[in-house]
């Protein structure tokens, strides 16, 4: 998903290609679209102005170093804000970016963190990110032959109705375990 526009205003002091979107009806979620990220960044809870400013700087650093960007700015952000409101979407996107760049262990770690942080959130935008993360995590473990880890994750997922592409990946992993 690409950024919509550069917005040099007080909500976006660095003028980076991260656009704060309108609030989702009846939910207090904020969304930013970041160039090079497959999923939007979604704040799952309230975040401080300082946290949002630091995230804006990480996005600016990432986009200055495009194509591909340097994901370390987001790793540093998450170290500084381990309970960040943005962590489910950041970890999901970091997993996707690391996978695309061939860093499979990093992708597994990121998706695992996204799943842990978002699996109990009932709000659809956050839940769909957590579902995508666990779907990708299960697929990755299946690709590298980690049958026990796949079985454990499938047990964690249980009968949870998964949103989006995660449902197909999990169904395929379930079938693969029975073969």
Please state, rounded to an integer, the average pLDDT across all residues of the chain: 80
Encode pLDDT of 149-171 as tens digits. 988 998 998 888 887 777 777 77
pTM of the model: 0.79
Q: How confident is the model at residue 5 (pLDDT cuts 50, 70, 90)?
A: very low
pLDDT of 94-146, one tens digit each? 999 999 989 999 999 999 999 999 999 989 899 999 999 999 999 999 888 89
Check if the beta carbon of residue 33 is closer than 8 Å to that of residue 40.
yes
With tokens 């990093």, the residue in question is 106
- CA–CA–CA angle 105, 109, 110 (5° rounding): 115
Q: Sign of the C-alpha dihedral, residues 178, 114, 39, 21?
A: positive
Q: Three-state SS string across the chain, please?
A: CCCCCCCCECCECCCCCEEECCCCCCCCCEEEEECCCCCCEEECCCCCHHHHHHHHHHHHHHHHCCCCCCCHHHHHHHHHCCCCCCHHHHHHHHHHHHHHCCCHHHHHHHHHHHHHHHCCCCCHHHHHHHHHHHHHHHHHHHHCCCHHHHHHHHHHHCCCCCCCCHHHHHHHHHHHHHC
């Amino acid at each position: 998903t690409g950024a919509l526009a550069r917005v040099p205003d007080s909500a976006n002091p660095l003028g980076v290609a991260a656009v704060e979107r309108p609030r989702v009806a009846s939910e207090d979620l904020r969304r930013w679209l970041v160039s090079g990220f497959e999923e939007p960044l979604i704040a799952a809870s309230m975040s401080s102005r300082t946290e949002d400013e630091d995230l804006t700087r990480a996005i600016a650093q990432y986009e200055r170093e495009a194509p591909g960007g340097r994901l370390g700015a987001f790793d540093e952000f998450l170290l500084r804000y381990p309970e960040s409101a943005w962590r489910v979407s950041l970890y999901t996107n970091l997993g996707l970016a690391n996978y695309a760049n061939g860093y499979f262990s990093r992708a597994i770690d990121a998706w695992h963190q996204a799943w842990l942080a978002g699996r109990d959130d009932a709000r659809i935008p956050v839940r769909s990110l957590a579902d995508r993360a666990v779907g990708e995590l299960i697929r990755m473990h299946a690709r590298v032959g980690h049958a026990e880890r796949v079985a454990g994750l499938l047990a964690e997922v249980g009968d949870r109705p998964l949103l989006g592409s995660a449902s197909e990946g999990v169904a395929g992993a379930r079938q693969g375990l029975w073969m």
